Amino acid sequence: MNATAYNPPKSVSAFLRSDKFASFIVGPVGSTKTTASIIKIAYEAKRVAPCKDGIRRSRCVVVRNTRQMLYDTTIPDFLKWFPDGPAGVFLKTDSKFILKLDDVECEVLFRGLDDANDVRRLLSLQLTFGVMDEFREVHPDVYNALTGRLGRYPDKTMNGVGACDDEGNQIHKVWGATNPPDADTFWEDLLTDPPENAHVTLQPSGLSPEADWVQYLPDGYYENLSLGKSEEWVDVYIHGKFGRSLAGKPVFQCFSRETHVAKSVPNVLPAGVRIGVDAGLNPSATIGQIAYDGRLVVHDSITGNEGGMGALRFIREKLKPLLTNKFPGAKVTVIIDPAAFQRAQTDERSVADVFKAEGFNVKPARTNSVAARLAACESYMTRTVGDKPALLVSPEADLLVKALAGKYRYKTNTKGETDDKPEKSHPWSDIADSFQYLCLDADGGGVFGSSHETKRREVKPAPFRFV
């Protein structure tokens, strides 16, 4: 394979062709993400509008956290694809490569970030593109400042349009490749909740059938690499998971984005809709359905996440509009924290009464036992139905995905001791609680057991249907 015959694996194609202002790819070690990041330099340079002499000029900086790492890894990787001579000229003293391919002339500057002087020199450049190799090691302030140096070259005196493509569209951008960063860092937050002008590619595990780059590695590469390594190391460098947060231990360590999060939005089923609700000071809800084969499909998760948003406002402003748009005509059942049936001293109405008054069929969760709630969730996460996971979460339920992936956790003190109950952190614990009530109900007593309490017969309003 060479630079003119590069055939990208499917797992990097979306990143390579992304036209967003910022593009990031995260994956296991050896997953060809760095190669894709390097090839993208030529791909984007070829799109820059030509100057008056017909040459498509651009300037790109490739940054790494140290100069030594640049010369040990980044520059050799670049020269493998764009060799000195056939693809241009490498000026070693200046750490610069003049890439020349067809009508392209792109200055590729390599910059380490060892000290403040390196950063100052970087932030005085006039650039078209910025590339960050192993960007989890790049300080967020450097990234933020780097984005302000883009689009400065070529200027309009050179080609009449500046840093634009042939159609006059702005083309300046930044991209990068990395192994997964630690949870609860700037980079994890950016990657899991990217702005509208950013694209994120998360590659599958190196041991997954979807690892479409293993043909370029030695046989049994990841199997051998995992031997003798800690579980956390394997999670990051082979499975491509975010590193462990220093703030605490994730509650659901059996949750996997790759396994449990759907690749596309699941279809709404003809079955009824179940909503797990946590009715604390910050009302939250998780909306799901039981498939014909018993699998739990979670479609969405929402939270009040505003100070003073009571149950009535949450229902009318957030929950009902969502149900009307996504589940028109569906029969809805709300499963709520048993404590929500306790009446308030102010108006003698419970939160459950508020839901009932708004037309919902409401029932209490089987128990408020934390152990039972967690067990019901883990039962779905660890089971399969046929060859499919028993839990499938829509990518639209992004709040729930973040909570299950590590935002919902056990607090760890300075001695490394972990609490025995999950930390109350808003909105993550609220979303997680609502999911637990949903799982308890969907489980049907399989984990906790059926309730044998004798209850008074209650006259209920007709089930609310959203039309």
The whole-number pLDDT of residue 160 equals 93
What's the chain's average pLDDT? Answer: 88
Percentage of the chain with pLDDT > 70? 91
467 pLDDT more than 50: no
- Which two tokens mark 55? 């040459």
Q: Does the structure show a pLDDT above 50 at 456?
A: no
Burial class (CB in 10 A: 0-12, 13-18, 19+), 245: middle
447 has pLDDT over 70: no
pLDDT band, very low/low/confident/very high, at 348 (cuts 50, 70, 90): low
Q: Rounded distance, CA 130 to CA 151, Å?
A: 10
Query: Which two structure tokens, joined as six digits, stand for 156?
Result: 């309009």
What average pLDDT does this structure show over 323-327?
94
Q: What is the pLDDT of residues 53-103, one digit of tens each?
A: 999 999 999 999 988 999 999 999 999 999 999 999 999 999 999 999 999
- Give pLDDT, residue 203: 96
Instruction: Answer yes or no: CATH 3.30.420.280 is held by domain 273-443.
Output: yes
Q: In the chain, where are the structural domains located?
A: 3-202, 273-443
C-alpha distances out from residue 208 to 211, 214, 233, 258, 320, Å: 5, 10, 17, 9, 39
Read off the pLDDT of each residue in 357-368 and give the average, rounded to a whole number.
92
Residues ≥6 apart with Cβ < 8 Å to 456: none
Residue 340 has pLDDT above 90, yes or no: no
CATH 3.30.1300.10 for domain 3-202, yes or no, is no
State residue 418's pLDDT score: 74
pLDDT tens by residue, 186-219: 999 899 889 999 999 999 999 999 999 999 999 9
Q: What is the dihedral of CA 93, 97, 98, 102, to 10 degrees?
A: 160
Asked if the model's pLDDT at residue 395 lies above 90, the reply is yes
Closest CA to 411 of 196, 98, 184: 184
Identify the band that residue 339 occupies on the pLDDT scale cut at 50, 70 and 90. confident
173, 150 contact by CB (below 8 A)? yes
Round the CA-based radius of gyration of the chain to a whole number and report it: 26
In this structure, the strands spanning 384-385 and 388-389 are: antiparallel
pLDDT of 460 strictly over 60: no
The pLDDT value given to residue 246: 59
d(CA 9, CA 214): 10
Average pLDDT for 154-161:
94
CA distance readout (Å), 29 to 19, 167, 182, 239, 279: 25, 38, 15, 9, 43
Question: What is the predicted pLDDT for the residue at 185?
Answer: 87
Q: Say what the pLDDT of residue 214 is.
A: 95
The CA–CA distances, whole Å, from 111 to 60, 151, 296 equal 11, 18, 49
Measured distance CA(173)–CA(198) in Å, rounded: 10
| pTM for this prediction | 0.68
